Amino acid sequence: MSICNFVLACSIDDSPGYFTYDNNDTMIIIQSKSSALSGQSDFYYIEPYIELIISHESLHFVIKRIESTMVSEKLDDLEVIVHRNGKNYQVTVNNLLFASDNSGLVL
């Protein structure tokens, strides 16, 4: 019960690149239309975080399978206080720049 497959796709509207998943076990990586047309990557700067993103989307996938889509999507609304470099930050659990491991959550 996790993400096992990956599909690359291109947006047909003006949305930015993003990640999502289908109802089975596939993570969908969607490139923006403008980046595809200009030959640029939407994901250049996030490639170091791809393991975190896969973990995070896997959590959504599992929660959706056990509970519901609504409960799964609420995961991104949770906020936590993290301590970094002597400062406190209030961030959502999907702000992976603040992650300290590859779990897919900011803790």
- Amino acid identity, residue 46? I
The answer as to whether 104 is a domain residue is: no
Please tell me the predicted confidence (pLDDT) of residue 11. Answer: 92
The answer as to whether 106 is a domain residue is: no
The answer as to whether 44 is a domain residue is: yes
Nearest to 77 by CA among 93, 89, 61: 93
Summarize pLDDT for 48-92 with one digit per residue, the tens.
888 888 888 888 888 888 998 889 889 889 999 999 899 999 999
Angstrom distance (rounded) from CA 3 to CA 65: 12
Number of domains in the chain: 1
Nearest to 24 by CA among 49, 7, 10: 7
Q: What is the pTM of this model?
A: 0.74
Domain that holds residue 12: 5-98
Q: Kindly state the average pLDDT of the residues 36-45.
A: 87
Please tell me the predicted confidence (pLDDT) of residue 99. Answer: 87
> Mean pLDDT score of the chain, rounded to an integer?
87
Q: pLDDT above 90 covers what percent of the chain?
A: 31
DSSP H or E run through 54 = helix 50-66
Please tell me the predicted confidence (pLDDT) of residue 1. Answer: 63
The answer as to whether 105 is a domain residue is: no
